[in-house]
Every structure is written in C-alpha cells, then in structure tokens.
Amino acid sequence: MERRVLPAPMGGAITDVPGIKVGHFTETRRPTGCTVLLAEEGAVAGVDVRGAAPGTRETDLLDPGNLVERVHAVVLSGGSAYGLAAADGVMRFLEEAGIGVPAGPGIVPIVASAVLFDLNYGDHRIRPDAEAGYRAARAACADPPAEGSVGAGTGATVGKMFGPERAMKGGIGTASASIGGITLGAIAAVNAVGDVIDPSTGRVLAGARDAPDGRRRIGLADAVMRGEVPARLQSGTATTIGAIATDAVLTKAEARKLAQLAHDGLARTIDPIHTMWDGDTIFCLGTGKSGLKGNMMVLGIMAARVMAAAVIRATLAARSVMAEGVPSIPSVVDLN
C-alpha cells in the first residue's frame, strides 16, 4: 500500500504574538474540552461567522459600529451550545484578577466565545462548563500551547458527511509568522463535516473513509460529484472554530476584515467548508504591541496562510479517541 507523505507545516504558535496567552482544559471523562485565549490588557477584536449552524456569544459586540473596543478573552469550546457556559468561568477568572471594563460599581470582563459539536462520543451530558473555562483560563500562559487532541480539539472529528463511523480524528493546531516587525498567529479547532486537504498537493489528509474499518480516504467532494449522495445529516453536528491574533495596531473594522480573510485558510484546507452543518467562526485579536499599523494586504495574506497551517497542524497532531464507550476514530498518524 502506498504510504502518504505528510506535509511539513509552518511552525510557531499564536502565543508568539505579544499579549496573547492560551490555556486548555481537557475533560478526562469523555472526549471534550475548551481552549481560552487571554488578552489581559485587552485586544481590538473582530469576528466572521461563515457556517450556517453557529453557536456563539458576544459576537454582536464585535461589530465595528458597537461601543466596546476591546475584548479580554476568546473561548473555543466543545459541547455544542452547552459549551458556551465555559465563558462564565473565564469571566470569573478575569474578574478575580481585576480585568474588565469599568461598569458602575465594578468591572465587566468582555469574553467572546464559539463552540463546536462533539456530543456524539461518550456521555453527552458531560461537556465544558464554567469550571472548565475557569481552569483553562487559570492554565493560560505565553508558552506554545499543546496541539492535537486537547482542549477544544479533544472530541473534534472530520469527514463526517457519510456518518461518524467513517470519520477521522480532528484536533486543535496553531502556527505563526512574522513579517516586517509584525507577528500574526492562528489557532484552529478542526471539527469539520468536510475533509482536511493538503493545499500543496490537493490530497486528502484526513476525512471520510471507504468503510468504518477502512483506511482509504474517498474524497468527499469528489464522491458527491460522482453522484454519491450522503444521508441527511442533522444540522449543527460539526464546526471549525478558531482565532487569529496580531501585534499590529488594528481598528475594529480591520479586525473584522482580517477574520474574514482568515477563512480563506479554511477554504484551502477543508473541503467542503462553510456548510449547512458547520458553524465555522473565526475571531481576530489585535494587541497593538508592535506599535506598527501594518499593511492590510500583507496581513490578509498572512492570516490565510497561517490559518491554513494551523488546520494542518491540528490534523497531524491529533490522536485516536480512546475513551470508555467511544468507538475508535483513527487519526492521520494511524493510517499513514
């Protein structure tokens, strides 16, 4: 059998951006978890939601026409809509640290969030909650975060159009690049209906297989074009969520535009993307720590390239789900 050559992904991490910390909480009772990005001094933020089945919190606040300029954290969580509760714990952590927007007698930490669906594996009643978010925030640091089957990527899977039994393992990944004194990083929890594609070759790295115990990746989009129509899926059973961050000085409108451009990285590495069953959401954080305004054309190219690298790294770092009562879901490492 032909052995697939794995791509060499871009290095670095989103924590290479000054002012950004990342922490994971990984649930041990079933495959799920959450990941927190802290910007303790605040970061100008934007968001772009492309999938048709999103689960989000505080995204309206990020509209350039709305009042608050900066956020203090972004939470990426498993658990579907239940996982939005993790943001409550992050707010508690930040309030205890005295971080937030002054409001009346106290402060209000601004915490945006997006969730992915991972309730199919193990006891669905176990999902990230406020305590999970608190613990992830408490663990946050500026070191390169762990990748693969941790945090929000713990229960992530890809290639689910023909059913979860033919899927492969997704995960969480990160990457960064620096140009002209400005650094931009990305992090992505990859849990797509579609396949993950190596953009340098067009080959499927991880995705739908020919059978529940099969090793061959069929190529979802190609299968559909051949007339292989999948069974009807329940909406909201997937979703890739992530964030980019930069130390460039951004306006809210520029942050939103960079979040939009980062979706190009998803489109290069996931096929199909932005489906009716995904709630794909990307945040953008600008810490301004470089003091440089930055060129939006350059930043946009960086955003797409670095996000694509984060998706590939998430897939290569993922490991098979191993939990009681959970069917084995192979990773790229298992099948290559």
Per-residue model confidence as pLDDT tens digits over 87-96: 999 999 999 9
Cα separation, 183 vs 116, in Å, equals 27
- Mean of pLDDT values over 111-127: 94
- Nearest to 260, CA basis, from 50, 9, 65: 50
pLDDT at 237: 84
What are the pLDDT digits (tens) for 277-295?
999 999 999 999 999 998 9
- Nearest to 111, CA basis, from 154, 148, 140: 140
Q: What is the value of pTM for the model shown?
A: 0.95
3-class state of residue 70 by DSSP: strand
pLDDT at 234: 64
- Mean of pLDDT values over 56-75: 95
pLDDT at 323: 60
| Whole-number average pLDDT of the chain | 93
3-class state of residue 230 by DSSP: coil
Q: Which two tokens stand for residue 276?
A: 């009716």
Q: Give me the amino acid identity at 1.
A: M
Provide the pLDDT confidence category of residue 2 given band limits of 50, 70 and 90. very low
* pLDDT > 90 in the chain, percent: 84
Burial 173-206 (b: 16+ CB within 10 A, else e): bbbbbbeeebbbbbbbbbbbbbbbbbbeeeebbb
Backbone φ, ψ for residue 31 (5° rounding):
-75, 95
**Secondary structure element (H or E) that encloses residue 242, with its range:** strand 241-246
**Secondary structure element (H or E) that encloses residue 72, with its range:** strand 70-77
pLDDT at 230: 78
In CATH terms, the fold of domain 14-335 is: L-amino peptidase D-ALA esterase/amidase (3.60.70)
DSSP string, 12-54: --GGGSTT-EEEEEE-SSSS-EEEEEEEEEEEEEEEEE-SSS-
pLDDT at 5: 56
Cα separation, 159 vs 330, in Å, equals 12
Cα separation, 29 vs 187, in Å, equals 25
